Amino acid sequence: MTIRGFGRIADTPPMRIRPFILLAILPLFSACSIVQSENPLGPRSSAVRDARLEGMWREGKGDFGYIFFAYRPHGADGSIMELTRNDKGRIASAKYDFYVTQTSKHAYLNVTNGHSSDESTFPVGQAGTYSFVEYRFNWLGELVYSMVGGDAIAKAVDEGKLKGKVDRDDKHNVTGIYLTDSSKRMLDFIESSKPQGVFQSTTKLKWVGGP
């Protein structure tokens, strides 16, 4: 038996994608203190193709919502598509582009070009910016992910260690972090920080299947 999540990050043959199963749920932009960035964490030229991501995932049996990762036929660029029900019971969907930046410590999704059918359910962030997702696979083959953001990054911007701006509400709570620093400086800061300071709470997704 093969357990998903223990394979190598490597190029794989193109997937045959059936449009009717491009469904997903990944609340990428639901947290207020996540990072939006002018630059990715790494260049596309060094992106890796992680075949373990491909296919459909879901968070829980009782939830109506899925995430589907699909790579383009060539290269390391891919798409994420989401589907869930909004608070009125209607279908809401969103689509993003992504590629993976791999380091010796972590793997990250650089997520950009979001398009949403319902901004109140799937706010996709400022056009032309990137958000970052740290991910890994546990021993059960589940996809475990965390949004990049939090107080440590906001503090670094306030202290001039990272270039950008931090938005706050009247109670001084962080409502948004926008970085304008270089890819290298951002990645170096995240990699050298304590995980709890730069990664939001984790979510586990179970693999459903693929085309």
| Region of residue 124 (left: phi > 0; alpha: psi -120 to 50; beta: else) | alpha
Q: Which residue has the higher pLDDT, 199 or 20?
A: 199
Strands 35-37 and 174-179: parallel
Do residues 79 and 19 lie in contact, with contact meaning Cβ atoms separated by under 8 Å? no
Contacts of 43 (CB under 8 A, 6+ apart): 183
The answer to which of 6-20, 61-75, 152-166, 172-186 has the lowest mean pLDDT is 6-20
| Nearest CA among 145, 193, 198, 183 for reference residue 47 | 183
Phi, psi of 186 (to 5 degrees): -65, -50
The model scores a pTM over 0.85: no
Rounded (5°) CA angle 86-109-4:
90
Average pLDDT over residues 153-166: 96
